[in-house]
Amino acid sequence: MMSWPEQVVRVQSLSESGIRAIPNQYIKPLTERPVFELGSQSDRRVDIPVIDLRNLFGNDPILHLDTLIRISTACRHWGFFQALNHGVSHELMRRARLVWRDFFNLPLQMKQEYANAPTTYEGYGSRLGVEKGAILDWSDYFFLHYLPVSLRNQSKWPEQPSSCREVVAEYGCEVAKLCTTLLKAMSTDLGLKEEYIENAFGGNNMEASLRVNFYPKCPQPELTLGLSSHSDPGGITILLPDRDVARLQVRKDGDWITVNPVPDSLIVMVGDQIQVMSNAIYTSVEHRVIANSAKDGVSLAMFFNPKSDLVIKPAEELVSEERPAVYDGMTFDQYRVHMRMKGPCGKARLESLKFNSPK
Ligand code: OGA
Ligand code: NI
């Protein structure tokens, strides 16, 4: 079985040890470090898309269309938006955060029972990628398979806190409904049949997984990152961001923009497979997480991905003489190897899939 190249260090344990300086293995090269501006980010006057989804579920055609247009604009120009009235119970969101915070607060020894390996990544982890000597991120995580049911193995989900498995099942179910609604909206907007993306992703065999990120306090947040720059490799991600601290940054026209989470919102992110399938009409969002010295935090990222052995390529309806296929087709299994071996690398992987890219 493939294992980690170095002894695994839990970032939470490092943080709780009270060190004042972070170990070298977490110090990013200068160009990757975050810039903490003196003035507030809002000086920049960028309007981060916030979309009320209420009318997507309703039956007023005009309001439905208006919502669709907002989603369309966000997916084409940003690859992300903050969603309100998304249908996921706020109380369930609160419970999901709490139960995972409680998990990370368990004694280390209990969490170690779920220690993961790079073969499937399922379980309790502290790094992405297996390159010896890689610069690591200031976070720990728990990764589990949610869908299809055949891949779901609840014995790999935490047994403690006692409500964890139940809360994950319930939360996943509600978020999956939202995902279905969004995939329909995106397909329609792209001029495809409503079920197109869902079917291309394998219909009932579509895969869903959950990564719960734990961001421990960091004594030198200016030197490292909570999570390095990447775009999510799969279809779409529905992120329940940390509640207390604005940690997520998205890249827009080369600039890093900090997202101040709107209370009770969920963040929707377009992943690489949808950029490919839309023949680059939609863009996947490059994003990262900055570290914080004052507060730790928890976020839940639910990934909806194509069934891993299906070839994902630009939809034929979106390929023409004027707009030739931008990307080669590839299965998600092949695609995600890169992230699993090398860790987060901005959008480099997607670039390499372009027809004219140097191979
Ligand atoms: C991720 C991710 C962002 C966050 O898990 O892929 O980008 O705010 N998370 O935790
Ligand atoms: Ni991500």
CA distance 264 to 240: 9
User: Residue 44's pLDDT is what?
Assistant: 55
**Residue 216: Cβ-neighbour burial (10 angstroms; 0-12, 13-18, 19+):** buried
- ω into 314 cis (within 30 of 0): no
Could you tell which of 143, 248, 257, 340 is best to mutate to test the pocket of ligand 1, judged by most ligand atoms within 8 Å of the CB? 248
Closest to 138 measured CA to CA, from 216, 211, 212, 250: 216
The residue whose CA is least distant from atom 1 of ligand 1 is: 301
Q: What is the pLDDT along the chain (359 residues), one digit of tens a residue?
A: 589 999 999 999 999 999 999 999 999 999 999 987 655 454 455 789 999 999 999 889 999 999 999 999 999 999 999 999 999 999 999 999 999 999 999 999 999 999 999 999 999 999 999 999 999 999 999 999 999 999 999 999 999 999 999 999 999 999 999 999 999 999 999 999 999 999 999 999 999 999 999 999 999 999 999 999 999 999 999 999 999 999 999 999 999 999 999 999 999 999 999 999 999 999 999 999 999 999 999 999 999 999 999 999 999 999 999 999 999 999 999 999 989 999 999 998 899 899 877 65
Could you tell which of 139, 141, 227, 296 is best to mutate to test the pocket of ligand 1, judged by most ligand atoms within 8 Å of the CB? 227
Bridge partners (DSSP) listed for residue 297:
215
User: Residue 2's pLDDT is what?
Assistant: 81
The residue whose CA is least distant from atom 2 of ligand 1 is: 301
CA distance 123 to 114: 5
Beta pairing class for 123-125 and 140-147: antiparallel
User: Residue 38's pLDDT is what?
Assistant: 56
Cα 16 to Cα 10, 219, 285, 328, distances in angstroms:
10, 10, 32, 46
Whole-number Å distance, alpha carbon 231 to ligand 2 midpoint, is 6
Tokens of 284: 């996947």
Return the residue matching tokens 């079985």: 1
Coil, strand or helix at 287: strand
Residue 152 CA from chain centroid, whole number? 19
Q: Which atom of ligand 1 is nearest to the CA of 211?
A: 5
Whether the CB-CB separation of 337 and 221 falls below 8 Å is answered with no
User: Residue 43's pLDDT is what?
Assistant: 45
The CB-side HSE value for 108 (13 A sphere, CA atoms) comes to: 11
Whether the CB-CB separation of 147 and 302 falls below 8 Å is answered with no
User: Residue 47's pLDDT is what?
Assistant: 80
Provide φ and ψ at 65, rounded to 5°.
-65, -40
- ω into 358 cis (within 30 of 0): no
E strand map for the chain: 50-52, 80-84, 123-125, 140-147, 207-215, 227-230, 236-240, 248-252, 255-258, 266-270, 287-289, 297-305, 311-312, 330-331
